[in-house]
Amino acid sequence: MAGKYLSLLVHFTWSTAGCEPWIATEIHESYSQLRDFAWQEGYGAFSVSKSEEARVERYIRNQEHHHRKRTFKEELIGLLEKHGIEYDKRHVWD
């Protein structure tokens, strides 16, 4: 657990650095539909309180159905605006 001792950027960099060889061999070679998989340049992170854990798990399980009504991009921008998080539209999505 990274907690308060590790910045998000450092944690993300460490987490993804060792994955590149695995992605190249396991995902690209084994799953033809994922041959174009690559890490995106940007990232976002949100914390969730323990009291909302079950709700978040339920959301993740139903994400495919949920995104039929509203795209992930629409949802992300909605979350940023709902919580008053400033963002630059040029950097939210490529």
Q: What is the pLDDT of residues 39-65, one digit of tens each?
A: 666 667 778 889 999 998 998 888 888
The answer on 50 and 30 residing in a single domain is no
What lies within 8 Å, CB to CB, of 41 at 6+ separation is 94
Q: Using CA atoms, how far apart are residues 61 and 49, in angstroms rounded to an integer?
A: 18
Q: Are residues 50 and 28 in the same domain?
A: no
Top-confidence residue, 41 or 2: 41
Token pair in block for residue 78: 């909605």
Residue 27 lies inside a defined structural domain of this protein = yes
The answer on 92 and 53 residing in a single domain is yes
Token code pair at residue 46:
């949100």
In a domain, 74, yes or no: yes
Please tell me the distance from the alpha carbon of residue 80 to that of residue 92, in angstroms, as a whole number.
10
Domain range holding 50? Answer: 46-94
Within this chain, do residues 92 and 50 fall inside the same structural domain, yes or no?
yes
CA dihedral 58, 12, 9, 38 (to 10 degrees): -100
pLDDT at residue 47, as a whole number: 80
> 51 and 30 in one domain?
no
- Domain count of the chain? 2
